[in-house]
């Protein structure tokens, strides 16, 4: 058991040891949120109490399920440097998918990781200027782009003749059957067809100051939607059917986009999927890395997706208090994910 504070953890080893002793005395069936709240009542939130044995077990399980693909860890689902360090030190995990450029700059400066992809386009001018001015960060961080406006903003902030910045092209992975009359999934990017992706890749390659490092296509409708909602067998069957068709469509479309862009320039990575799509994404030959993290198994369980038997309750003892989720701030096609620290209770627990 470890007690962690989000920015500087693990905190207070003596206190953590006492907590571990206190919790060890609680019978397993009584170790619930109330017991954890009582045991940590004197500590200032946000904090997490994490069962490291479960965390490690699930990390190993994910590596097994990824079938040899390196796993890029989605930092937004952990937000805890101690846990990021821990999981990145394991074989099978490589690089971080960050939720904002500021976070990526911070994780780079703290030496947490030297391979950071920002999962969402950034319009944070200050952070972009810092990135452009820092040679170490420029080599370590890849920013997401999906339209010329993102490149224009970087040019404007970094100034004429700026050094190369690494960029990743965001291919929309939603499913649009019936001649695009139906839209299933997130509207992540204006780049949906291979033609659109190739045209934008050409635009990036033609522009000085940018290095096309990778492509990302995140299938939220598969990775982020539980396919076994309790007590709703018909809905479960419909979800699985939709997800199967969507995965097949995406495999073709993502594969074609990657093939055609690779013919223009080498791509260092092709990123896709998440915890809930690990098997299908890892089976797609065009993808080089799926991003996810051990704690996500709790979210998958909460969403109703049945985990394989060998998995333990993901973060049964992970409690995050007064930590608010991310909200994407949209303005036109430019998006930036911002953390908002507001007193609110969030809980991540996987219950059997």
Ligand X SMILES: Cc1ncc(COP(=O)(O)O)c(C=O)c1O
Interface residues with ligand X (CB under 6 A) are 74, 77, 97, 119, 218, 223-224, 274-275, 291-293, 296, 299
Residue closer to ligand X by CB (options 40, 77) is 77
Asked if residue 119 lies in contact with residue 144, where contact means CB atoms within 8 angstroms, the answer is yes
φ, ψ for residue 8, nearest 5 deg: -140, 65
Cβ at position 57, least distance to ligand X in Å: 17
Cβ at position 39, least distance to ligand X in Å: 27
Residue closer to ligand X by CB (options 291, 307) is 291
Cβ at position 287, least distance to ligand X in Å: 12
Q: What letter does residue 265 receive in the DSSP assignment? A: S
Query: Nearest Cα to 221, choosing from 154, 272, 257, 271?
Result: 272
d(CA 290, CA 292): 7
Residue closer to ligand X by CB (options 118, 261) is 118
Cβ at position 225, least distance to ligand X in Å: 11
Secondary element (H or E) of residue 170: strand 165-170
Asked if residue 210 lies in contact with residue 167, where contact means CB atoms within 8 angstroms, the answer is yes
Asked if residue 156 lies in contact with residue 202, where contact means CB atoms within 8 angstroms, the answer is no
| Chain center to CA of 106 | 17
| Chain center to CA of 187 | 17
Strands (E), the chain: 2-5, 47-50, 71-74, 93-98, 116-118, 141-145, 165-170, 210-217, 269-272, 319-320, 326-331, 334-339, 346-347
Residue closer to ligand X by CB (options 82, 218) is 218
Asked if residue 313 lies in contact with residue 352, where contact means CB atoms within 8 angstroms, the answer is yes
Cβ at position 221, least distance to ligand X in Å: 12
d(CA 33, CA 320): 11
Residue closer to ligand X by CB (options 47, 278) is 278
Cβ at position 22, least distance to ligand X in Å: 30
Residue closer to ligand X by CB (options 77, 142) is 77
Residue closer to ligand X by CB (options 144, 165) is 144
Residue number, nearest CB to ligand X: 274
Asked if residue 289 lies in contact with residue 270, where contact means CB atoms within 8 angstroms, the answer is yes
Cβ at position 76, least distance to ligand X in Å: 7
Residue closer to ligand X by CB (options 117, 236) is 117
Q: State how far the alpha carbon of 209 is from the alpha carbons of 38, 51, 130, 165, 212, in Å.
A: 54, 45, 15, 6, 10
Cβ at position 166, least distance to ligand X in Å: 17
């Amino acid at each position: 058991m470890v007690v962690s504070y989000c920015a500087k953890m693990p905190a207070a080893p003596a206190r953590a040891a006492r907590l571990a002793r206190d919790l060890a005395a609680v019978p397993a069936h009584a170790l619930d949120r109330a017991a954890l709240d009582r045991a940590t009542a004197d500590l200032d939130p946000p904090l997490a109490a994490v069962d490291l044995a479960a965390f490690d077990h699930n990390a190993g399980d994910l590596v097994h399920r990824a079938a040899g693909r390196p796993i890029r860890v989605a930092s937004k689902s952990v937000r805890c440097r101690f846990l990021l360090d821990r999981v990145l030190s394991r074989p099978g995990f490589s690089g971080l998918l960050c939720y904002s450029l500021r976070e990526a700059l911070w994780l780079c400066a703290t030496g947490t990781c030297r391979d950071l992809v920002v999962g969402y386009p950034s319009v944070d001018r200050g952070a972009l200027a810092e990135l452009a001015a820092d040679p170490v960060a420029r080599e370590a961080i890849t920013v997401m782009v999906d339209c010329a406006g993102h490149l224009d903003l970087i040019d404007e902030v970094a100034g004429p003749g700026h050094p190369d910045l690494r960029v990743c092209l965001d291919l929309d992975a939603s499913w649009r059957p019936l001649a695009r009359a139906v839209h299933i999934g997130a509207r992540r990017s204006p780049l949906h067809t291979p033609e659109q992706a190739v045209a934008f890749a050409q635009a990036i390659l033609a522009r000085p100051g940018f290095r096309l490092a990778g492509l990302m296509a995140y299938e939220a409708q598969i990775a982020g939607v539980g396919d076994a909602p309790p007590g709703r067998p018909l809905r479960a069957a419909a979800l699985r059917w939709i997800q199967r068709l969507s995965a097949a469509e995406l495999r073709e479309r993502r594969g074609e986009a990657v093939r055609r862009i690779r013919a223009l320039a080498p791509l260092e990575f092709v990123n896709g999927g998440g915890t809930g799509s690990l098997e299908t994404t890892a089976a797609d030959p065009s993808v080089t890395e799926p991003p996810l993290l051990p704690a996500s198994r709790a979210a998958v369980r909460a969403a109703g997706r049945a985990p394989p038997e060998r998995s333990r309750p993901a973060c049964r003892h992970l409690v995050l208090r007064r930590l608010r989720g991310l909200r994407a701030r949209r303005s036109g096609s430019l998006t930036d994910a911002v953390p908002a620290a507001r007193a609110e209770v969030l809980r991540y627990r996987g219950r059997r």
